Structure 1
Amino acid sequence: MGSVTKSGCSWLKIVFLSLFCALNIYLFVISFGIDYKREMAKVHVQFSESMPTMDSWINSPFGKLKSYLFNVTNAEEFLSGRDKKVRLEQVGPITYSIVGYNDILNRTKSSVTFRKHRYRHVEFLPDESVAPDILNKTIVQFNSILIGAAAKAAQTHSMFTAIGFNAVTMGEKLFMPDSVYYFLWEFTRPGLEMISRWLSLVSNCGVLYNALKEKEEVFTVNIGTEPGVENFFRIQSYNDELLIQEQLKRPTGPIDESCPINVKGTLDNSLYPPFIEKDTPLNIMASESCRILPLHYQREDEHEGIKGYRYTLLKQNETAPNCLSITNEVRLPSGMFDVSKCVINDAPAAFSSPHFYGSSYDWTEHFEGLNPNAEEHEGFILLEPTSGIPLNEKYRFQSVTPMPNMDGYGHGLNKLSHVMVPTFWYEFEMGQLPLYVLVIMRIYANPYLQPILMGLQLFCAIGSLYFLVRLLRRLCKKICATPVVRLETVLNSHPHSNPESTLEHDSSKLENVLNPHLDPNQSPDLTSQNNLSKLETD
Structure 2
Amino acid sequence: MDCEIWTGFNHRARVEHGSKLVLKGLLPLTSSGCSTSASVSAGALPSKKPPEKAKGDSSNSSGPSDLIRVKIKSPVHSSSIFILELISSQIHPLFLQETPRRRSMPHSTSSSIRLSRSLNEEDDDRMMRMFIGAQIQLGVIPSPSPIRPDAVIEEGTLAYENWVKSSSDFYRQFWLFNVENPTDVIENSAKPVLTQKGPYTYRIRDDPKSSITANDNYTISYMLPNTAVFLRDMSYGSEEEIITSLNLAVAATQSIVPAVLHKVLNTMIKNSTSSLFQNRTVKEILWGYEDPLLKQLQGILPNLDTTTGLFYPYEGTFDGPYTVYTGKDDISKTANIEKYNGHSKLSYWSGEFCNMLNGTDGASFPPLRGKEKIYFFSSDICRSIYAEYEEQNYLKGIPVYRFVIPPKAFASPSVNPENICFCTELVVSKNCTMAGLLSVSSCKEGKPIFVSLPHFLYGSEELTEDIEGLHPNKEEHQTYLDVESTTGFTLQFAKRIQINLMFGPSAVIEVFSKIKKTYIFPVAWLNETAAVNDETAEMFRSSVTLPILILKIVELVLICIGSACFLGCIIELILIKTIKVRTSLTLSSLYGRHYTE
Q: TM class, shorter-chain normalised?
A: 0.5 to 0.7
Corresponding residue to 1:277 among 358, 364, 370: 370
Q: In the superposition, relative to structure 1, how do residues 199 and 433 fare at CA in structure 2: closer, same or farther (>3 Å)?
A: farther
Corresponding residue to 2:527 among 413, 427, 430: 427
Residue 243 of structure 1, CA deviation? 1.6
Corresponding residue to 2:317 among 202, 214, 234: 214
1:511 match: none
- Structure 1: runs of 5 or more not aligned: 1-28, 249-254, 457-538
1:19 match: none
1:257 match: 352
User: 1 CA distance for matches of 2:256 and 2:532?
Assistant: 42
CA deviations 1:316-362 (Å, max 9, x no partner) are: 6523633332348532621111211232x421111100111111142
Are 1:56 and 1:434, in contact at CA under 8 Å, matched by a contact in 2? no
- Structure 2: runs of 5 or more not aligned: 1-34, 37-135, 414-418, 558-597
Are 1:147 and 1:413, in contact at CA under 8 Å, matched by a contact in 2? no
User: 2 CA distance for matches of 1:313 and 1:213?
Assistant: 30
Amino acid at match of 1:323: C
User: 1 CA distance for matches of 2:277 and 2:492?
Assistant: 38
Residue 270 of structure 1, CA deviation? 2.0
2:306 match: 203
Q: How does 1:174-189 map to 2 (within 5 A)?
A: 174-189=276-291
Task: Answer yes or no: is 1:357 the counterpart of 2:457.
Answer: yes
Residue 416 of structure 1, CA deviation? 5.9
User: 1 CA distance for matches of 2:511 and 2:266?
Assistant: 8
Residue 414 of structure 1, CA deviation? 4.3
1:85 match: 191
Q: How does 1:48-197 map to 2 (within 5 A)?
A: 48-60=154-166, 62-81=169-188, 84-98=190-204, 99-103=206-210, 105-107=212-214, 111-119=218-226, 121-131=227-237, 134-153=238-257, 161-170=261-270, 171-196=273-298
Q: In the superposition, relative to structure 1, how do residues 454 and 315 fare at CA in structure 2: closer, same or farther (>3 Å)?
A: closer
User: 1 CA distance for matches of 2:298 and 2:220?
Assistant: 36
Task: Provide the secondary structure at the position in 1 that maps to 2:551.
Answer: helix
Residue 308 of structure 1, CA deviation? 1.9
Are 2:202 and 2:230, in contact at CA under 8 Å, matched by a contact in 1? yes
Task: Answer yes or no: is 1:448 the counterpart of 2:554.
Answer: no
Are 1:357 and 1:378, in contact at CA under 8 Å, matched by a contact in 2? yes
User: 2 CA distance for matches of 1:425 and 1:284?
Assistant: 20
User: 2 CA distance for matches of 1:418 and 1:361?
Assistant: 15
Are 2:250 and 2:276, in contact at CA under 8 Å, matched by a contact in 1? yes
Q: In the superposition, relative to structure 1, how do residues 118 and 303 fare at CA in structure 2: closer, same or farther (>3 Å)?
A: farther
Task: Answer yes or no: is 1:301 the counterpart of 2:393.
Answer: yes
**Aligned Cα root-mean-square deviation (Å):** 3.2
Are 1:88 and 1:368, in contact at CA under 8 Å, matched by a contact in 2? yes
- Give % identity: 21
User: 1 CA distance for matches of 2:242 and 2:339?
Assistant: 45
Give the 4+ runs in structure 1 shifted more than 6 A.
Answer: 29-32, 453-456
Query: What is the TM-score when the length of structure 1 is the normalising length?
Result: 0.68
Q: In the superposition, relative to structure 1, how do residues 353 and 327 fare at CA in structure 2: closer, same or farther (>3 Å)?
A: same
Amino acid at match of 2:356: N
User: 1 CA distance for matches of 2:261 and 2:406?
Assistant: 37
Residue 63 of structure 1, CA deviation? 0.9
Task: Provide the secondary structure at the position in 2 that maps to 1:369.
Answer: coil
Q: How does 1:332-371 map to 2 (within 5 A)?
A: 333-343=434-444, 345-371=445-471
Corresponding residue to 2:380 among 282, 288, 297: 288
User: 1 CA distance for matches of 2:316 and 2:438?
Assistant: 22
Moved more, 389-398 or 211-220: 211-220
Moved more, 414-423 or 314-323: 314-323
Q: In the superposition, relative to structure 1, how do residues 212 and 147 fare at CA in structure 2: closer, same or farther (>3 Å)?
A: same
Are 1:42 and 1:229, in contact at CA under 8 Å, matched by a contact in 2? no
User: 1 CA distance for matches of 2:493 and 2:391?
Assistant: 14
Residue 404 of structure 1, CA deviation? 4.9
Residue 217 of structure 1, CA deviation? 1.0
CA deviations 1:43-92 (Å, max 9, x no partner) are: 133334333343332114841111121111111233332x7211111111
User: 1 CA distance for matches of 2:401 and 2:530?
Assistant: 16
CA deviations 1:469-520 (Å, max 9, x no partner) are: xxxxxxxxxxxxxxxxxxxxxxxxxxxxxxxxxxxxxxxxxxxxxxxxxxxx
Amino acid at match of 1:288: D
Residue 398 of structure 1, CA deviation? 0.5
1:236 match: 338
Q: In the superposition, relative to structure 1, how do residues 308 and 341 fare at CA in structure 2: closer, same or farther (>3 Å)?
A: same
Are 1:67 and 1:424, in contact at CA under 8 Å, matched by a contact in 2? yes
Are 2:212 and 2:223, in contact at CA under 8 Å, matched by a contact in 1? no
Residue 428 of structure 1, CA deviation? 0.5
Task: Answer yes or no: is 1:41 the counterpart of 2:147.
Answer: yes
1:514 match: none
Moved more, 41-50 or 90-99: 41-50
Indicate the structure (1 or 2) with the bigger Cα radius of gyration.
1
User: 1 CA distance for matches of 2:556 and 2:353?
Assistant: 52
CA deviations 1:156-177 (Å, max 9, x no partner) are: 6x5x544443233223211112
Task: Provide the secondary structure at the position in 2 that maps to 1:89.
Answer: strand
Paired positions, count? 408
CA deviations 1:131-157 (Å, max 9, x no partner) are: 2xx22222211112101111334xx6x
Task: Provide the secondary structure at the position in 1 that maps to 2:184.
Answer: helix
Query: What is the TM-score when the length of structure 2 is the normalising length?
Result: 0.62
Task: Provide the secondary structure at the position in 2 that maps to 1:207.
Answer: coil
